[in-house]
Structure formats: C-alpha cells, structure tokens
Amino acid sequence: MLARAITLIESKRADHRKTARALVQELLPASGNAVRVGITGMPGVGKSTTIDALGTFLTGGGHKVAVLTVDPSSSRTGGSILGDKTRMARLAADDNAFIRPSPASGTLGGVAAKTRETMLLCEAAGYDVVLVETVGIGQSEIAVADMTDFFLVLMLPGAGDELQGLKKGVVELADMIAVNKADGDNVARANAAAAEYRAALHILKPRSPDWTPPVVTYSALTGAGVAELWNHVLAHRARLSKSGALEHQRREQQVKWMWSMIEERLIGRLKSDPTVKARLPALEAAVAEGRLSPALAADEVAEALGV
C-alpha cells in the first residue's frame, strides 16, 4: 500500500496529482515523528553499504527504517537503473525496512521531485527512522539538508589530498563527517584523514550554534563504529530538541517546501500556457542562432504571461 501511495505521489497525471495532494494533507497529522537523516558523499564512498549496515543495526534495535534512495537519470533517455536495493542485500530482505529507489528525473539537487512527500508517507506508515541517500553530485547536499534533521557526510581515507574532498559548502551543512573503510590496512589512513577533517572544521562556522560536528571513523563492511554513528545522531536530536532549534528548523523546511511547490506550479503553468507555447519555438530558434539574447527572450515570455 505504501509503495502504491508513493507511485501515486510521483505520478505526473493531473487527476493523480490532485488525489496525491489530498492524501498528503490527510496524513499530515500522522507524520513528523521520525528521525530524518540525509546521507551524502562522493560516488564510491560506500553510501549504500553504509545504509545497509546502519539500517540493519537499527532494525535489530527495534526500529522501523525507511530508505529513500535517488538514482541518477540519464540525460539522454531519462531512464534510471534503480538498482540500489541490490547493494543493500540484508536490509532489502528485512521485514522492518522499506527501500524505495526513485529516479532523479532531472530534478535539481539529485533528490527525487517528491522525496519530501514520500518521507511523510513513510512516517505515517509507522517508520520511525527515514534515511535519504543522494546521488552525491551537484546541489544534492543543499536539497537534502533542507528536508532532514541530521546531515551526514561520508568521506574516504587515502584518496590523495584529503582536503580536496572537503568542499566548504558541504562541510558547512554537515552535522557529522564520517570516514568510511576504516578496516584492515586502512585504519591508519582513516584516522589521519579524520584528523585533517577535524582541523579543517575548526576554521569553519558550524551549521548550528548548538552543535559542533564530530568527525568519526567507521567500517560499513565490518560494522565497526556504526553504533557510534547512530549515537551521535541521537545526541544531536536531544540537544537541538532541548534548545528548540529542531522545531524551528522543521518549520523553516516546511516554508521552503511551500516555495519549491509554488515554483513547480509556476513552471508548469508557463509550459502549458497556450500563448507561450505558440511563441516558444520561434524564441528558442532565435536564441540558438544568436539573433536574440536570452534576456530579451525571457522578457518576451514574461510579457506573454503578464508578469
């Protein structure tokens, strides 16, 4: 039922969208009680393996875990493989876990267009932990930070210059940096990388005045350090709940969600307006051939809409 509800939410049919909006409104009072964790990192850092290990640890502790993963969509065909479940073998077979891969479908930020609504549906269905995995590129970090309570950034040890992977924008959003693959011969390199990240964090302003982002090492392969990851998430939640910062953050996220929906509606109206649709081919051709500047073309579209 949950899977079908999410499919309804993701549908682009007008009648489905109307039903989906009514469904989200109906379920709103039953949502909002879960711990929302965003997880990002460069490709190959082990996001799926980490989620498999963390999710299995949580279900073993009595939690119900929903995992929302986003697959990059092909810029040519628009298709996605949606194969994340194959990299989460234990969790995919766990009765207390629900994994939903969704295509990015060209959405800015590397998160699916309906990730927020999907998160609410999972919470209403009784899942008390929601993990959101991004494709780890572009603006995905900002988008996920704007819809979760805790933002976890995964890093690799021994990947050349450690600070190369430390983008200032990502670190300013991070609630914790975790260095993966701290096992076997990699332990020393992981500890060295963690020390460099700690030093770098000292010169950056943290996301919240109530929380200093820790830097930890762990191994998704062996499970070592996974419990510590979750303890930091709980400590962060307790501290921000006590200060009122968590409630304030969620309220801000709701308003940002509203504005993103408004922008989506306006773009939809723009593309479906008959006057604009009739004028667009000529404008696009003129811009492509260099006869008209993009700025003037935008002015003409705005005038056609009466903006």
pLDDT tens readout for residues 259-284: 888 888 888 888 888 888 888 899 99
The whole-model pTM stands at 0.85
| pLDDT over 50 at 81, yes or no | no
| pLDDT over 90 at 303, yes or no | no
- Residues whose CB falls within 8 Å of the CB of residue 7, separated by 6 or more in sequence, listed in order: none
pLDDT for the residue 140: 63
For the sheet containing 97-103, what is the strand order?
97-103, 65-71, 129-133, 35-41, 150-155, 176-179, 215-217
Q: How far from each other are the two terminal CA atoms of the chain, in whole angstroms?
A: 42
Question: pLDDT tens digits for 177-226?
Answer: 999 999 988 899 999 989 888 887 877 777 788 899 999 999 999 999 99
| Extents of the domains making up the chain | 29-243, 260-305
Neighbours of 180 (CB within 10 A): 26
The CA-CA-CA angle for residues 194, 200, 201, to 5°, reads: 90
| pLDDT over 60 at 72, yes or no | no
pLDDT for the residue 243: 93
| pLDDT over 90 at 25, yes or no | yes
95 versus 145: the higher-pLDDT residue is 95
137 confidence band (pLDDT: 50, 70, 90):
low
Neighbours of 215 (CB within 10 A): 20
| pLDDT over 70 at 119, yes or no | yes
Q: What is the CATH number of domain 29-243?
A: 3.40.50.300
